[in-house]
Amino acid sequence: MNEAKAKPIHSFRDPALATGIPILQLLEHIKPNSTNKEIWLGNNVDDASIRQYAISCCHKAGARVFTLPEHLEELNGKMILTLFASLQLLYYNLKQKAENKHNRTKNTELKWLKLNDDNKINGTE
């Protein structure tokens, strides 16, 4: 199975977007293992199926997507822009969630340290 090569996108009406593969590649960078690469890297898959799969994977990953596969096929720049904005928001939310989880773990460790120090001061240890 060959890896799909990332090609630069020059606008939201770039013909490469009509395949849906750049969206799947971006989603894989935002949320790894959110797609099945065997499906969209296979040689026997048509573009319509890949476009539908890309939109479905974006939904499944948690993005609010209003773009339809037909918008990708027609290279509707405004709807493709909303898709990328939705993926950007998904990235931001996942990043915030990870930071909050890290901070909660850190705060819990600090509370335990503080409790241990208070016990030493009060002579209960």
Q: How far apart are CA 109 and CA 71, in angstroms?
A: 49
Residue 36 pLDDT: 93
Hey, what domains does the chain have and what are their CATH numbers? 15-93 (1.10.418.10)
Give the SS3 label for residue 16: helix
Quick: pLDDT tens for 64-92: 999 999 999 999 999 999 999 999 999 99
Q: Is a pLDDT exceeding 70 seen at residue 93?
A: yes
Q: Which amino acid is at 11?
A: S
Residue 23 pLDDT: 96
What DSSP letter does each residue of 62-111 carry, written as one string? T------HHHHHTT-HHHHHHHHHHHHHHHHHHHHHHHHHHHHHHHHHHH
The pTM of the full predicted model, rounded to 2 decimals, is: 0.76
Quick: pLDDT tens for 6-23: 678 999 999 999 999 999
Q: Is a pLDDT exceeding 90 seen at residue 2?
A: no
